[in-house]
Amino acid sequence: MLLEKIKISIFFFPILMFFMIFVAKKLDFVDKPNHRKIHKSKVANITGITICIYLIFIVISSEFSFLLEKIIIIGLVIALIGFLDDRKEITPSMKLMLILLPSSYLVFNGFELTDIGIYEYIGFLYLGKFSIIFTLLSVLLLINSINYIDGTDGLLIGYTITALIYFYFLSGNQNQYSQIFLIFVYILIISLFFNFLPIKSGFKSFLGDSGSLFIGFFISFTIIFLYKYHSIHPALLIWVCWLPIYDFLYVTLNRFVKKQDFYNPDKSHLHHYVLKYFSKNHFKTFLCINLINLLVISIGYFLSMFIGKIYSLFSFILFFFIFVFARLKLENFKIYKN
């Protein structure tokens, strides 16, 4: 079944993408350039909603896992919120409230975290009466953090491909539910092709907020699903989150120190500085950040499996300070170079 679905995806998904890009241009569903955008021409931004619709078609026509299917189907609401934001630019507070509704539905229907794992020396870390609020805050943080890293060609898609392959590796290829991860990967590889096409081709397409929010939603609740229902330890799973979480925390703290609006968009994210470092070469930026992401996740896996879960947790915190140091060095280098 898996091979058949992959073959269908390779054949049918590109056709769907070409059709959706054609419709997007006719209806002006495009990302328009402005002072904070990197591109200088209108580009279709319907890849995200196309991925979501296609995944729903896959899960409706097949049997994977009821809980994963629920994440994808409810994720359509998130994708539509992002699609609306791409068209009308919803205020950050309104967007947060809209994201909270489908997130709350899942948390109250099987995705509440009651603990965050058992660790050497300290045992279980129970959440008690804070379980619902902790779960919701964690999900909202990760969804918004992942939305932050969608800023250069292919970056978020590459990040998601790595995350899904890691989930598949942790799940084991004998589990039927893990097959959806591979199908998702093949769809994203095709999406990556459209993302890297030159604008003059007429078929370049961005994920859009519909894609970044849907991916953030899917990864957030898949992490809960893998821990709560398949006993994959959080010390292994948190390493998928390091890039968006570190970048989100750094940018937020930086804005706080500079007394700037937390929701004010700027070009202070990691990918902006790496892009400048590589003289606005999107492919080099994509390759560099995704290779670092793969390396850090591999280190996290090694720490969790062979050193200890508690050491993995402490290392996750320690790595944030290393990230801050590296960010400051990168920024100072650019100031000196310019």
pLDDT tier at 335, thresholds 50, 70, 90: very low
**CA 288, chain centre distance (Å):** 17
- Give the model's pLDDT for residue 333: 63
In this model, does residue 126 exceed pLDDT 60?
yes
pLDDT digits (tens, 9 = 90+) for 262-296: 666 667 788 888 888 888 889 999 999 999 999 99
Q: Is-contact 219 142, C-beta < 8 A?
A: yes
Residues 116-140: what's their mean pLDDT? 93
DSSP for 239-285, written as a single string: GGGHHHHHHHHHHHHHHHHTT--TT---S-SHHHHHHHHTTT-HHHH
State the total domains in the chain.
1
3-state secondary structure of 42: coil
100: amino acid identity, one letter: L
Structure token digits, residue 143: 């969804």
pLDDT tens for 140-171 read 999 999 998 888 889 999 999 999 999 999 98
Q: What pLDDT, in 10s, does the model give residues 194-239?
A: 999 888 888 899 999 999 999 999 999 999 999 999 999 999 999 9
Distance in angstroms (rounded) separating the CA atoms of residues 165 and 156: 14
Strand partners, 123: 119
Maximum C-alpha span of the chain:
61
Q: Measuring CA to CA, which residue among 137, 104, 131 is closest to residue 245? A: 137
Write the secondary structure of 79-112 as one string of H (helix), E (strand) and C (coil): HHHHHHHHHHCCCHHHHHHHHHHHHHHHHCCCCC
Boundaries of domain holding 209: 2-337
Distance CA 180, CA 163 (A): 13
Residue 173, both tokens: 């290829």
Q: How far is CA 311 from the centre of its chain?
A: 25
- Token pair belonging to 258: 């500079």
**Residue found under tokens 């706080």:** 256
Residues β-bridged to residue 115:
126
What's the length of the chain?
Answer: 338
Q: Which residues contact 298 (CB under 8 A, 6 or more apart)?
A: none
Residue type, 44: A
Could you report the per-residue pLDDT of 31-55, keeping only the tens digit for each?
776 555 555 568 888 999 999 999 9
% of the chain with per-residue pLDDT over 90: 58
